[in-house]
Amino acid sequence: MTTNDWPLWEVFVRSRRGLSHTHAGSLHAPDAEMALRNARDLYTRRGEGVSIWVVPSTAITASSPDEKDPFFEPAGDKPYRHPTFYEIPEGVKHL
């Protein structure tokens, strides 16, 4: 198997405890263990992570930005789902 045949992995890094994982980038690796090690070396070189997820790109299903309006329209008529009726207290972080 050559490096061109290796599957593509998506990398998500959590920078600090209490925060969500965010997409950091992609890499090719032969298996999950190697993808995790390569992700550590590539995306957390300066100690900016406490947790890493690697996911095969083929396992991710996403909506299309071109279908944004019809896809998200059903949520538009439910204003109770949006916290617009109260103010966030000072000192509350990561909201």
CA distance 72 to 70: 6
| 83: confidence class by pLDDT, cuts 50, 70, 90 | low
Instruction: Flag whether 86 is in a domain.
Output: no
Instruction: Flag whether 88 is in a domain.
Output: no
Residue 34's domain is classified under what CATH number? 3.10.20.520
Number of domains in the chain: 1
Instruction: Flag whether 44 is in a domain.
Output: yes
Instruction: Flag whether 78 is in a domain.
Output: no
- pLDDT above 90 for 27: yes
* Predicted model pTM: 0.68
Sorted by sequence, the CB contacts under 8 Å of residue 22 that are 6+ apart come out as 12, 13, 14, 15
Tell me the per-residue pLDDT of 60-69, one tens digit each, with 9 for 90 and over.
998 888 887 7
Please give the residue range of the domain that contains residue 13: 3-63
